[in-house]
Amino acid sequence: MTDHQLPKTRSGEPRAFFGRRSGKKLHGGQQAVFDATLPDLEIKLDGKLDPKSLFPQAEKLIIEIGYGGGEHLALEASRHPKTGYIGCEVFTGGIGKMVQTIVAENLNNIRLFTDDALKLLFALPDASIDEIYLLYPDPWPKTRHHKRRFVSPTTLRELARVIRPGGLFHFATDIEDYANWTLAHIVRSPDFVFLPERPGGWHEPYEGWQATRYEQKARREGRMISFYFSFPRR
């Protein structure tokens, strides 16, 4: 199999998520909040989705794919209440934490998609999103698993289709091989631009960046350098 197409589901559809969906069970209080709140936050696809219907008054629309514990998503949503955010995560532990944070901080500008993010991208209209974040995705380090990485020609085409011209695709990782993999795909893409302001500038965190739980774990494990890219949509 080449990297020009993603592995398929049994029904023949491309998929971009691989791995577990659940972890430790939520305790009673967490489960109660989860059960009571998620139905009002969760995006259920039934054909195409107009994201403006989720946030009619929003000035911008942003997606974060694989938000993990939700630290970045919650912080950005609190900083920019006039922006609508869609968080994509399939891991139930992360979804549970995000739901709790939304309730605790009264964040009414976040909606959650709990299935493969590629399904959401397929459902969105052209040029309907301002920015998309992919922060510290699973690097799938073994060569035979590289086809499972989220960044691929298929996903980049969908990202480019839904991001408006001049919008941004943000990608961060602490794995140099995945950074090189992503750059190799970006420079072959006709839809995105790699325009570093200066050599090495991609090691500087985004403005206002607060380290995620994963990044903190990486530092403890000795991975001290990260890559923070922002690719404009042509």
Enumerate the active-site residues: 138
Sorted by sequence, the CB contacts under 8 Å of residue 125 that are 6+ apart come out as 48, 50, 51, 162
* Paired tokens of 93: 């532990």
Length of the chain: 234
Q: Where are the alpha helices (DSSP H) in the chain?
A: 28-41, 71-79, 92-105, 117-123, 153-162, 176-188, 213-220
Taking only Cα atoms into account, the Rg of the chain, rounded to an integer number of angstroms, comes to 17
CB 230 within 8 A of CB 133: no
Q: How far is the C-alpha of 111 from the C-alpha of 67, rounded, in Å? A: 12
Q: How far is the C-alpha of 187 from the C-alpha of 194, rounded, in Å? A: 7
CB 50 within 8 A of CB 81: no
Q: How far is the C-alpha of 16 from the C-alpha of 182, rounded, in Å? A: 15
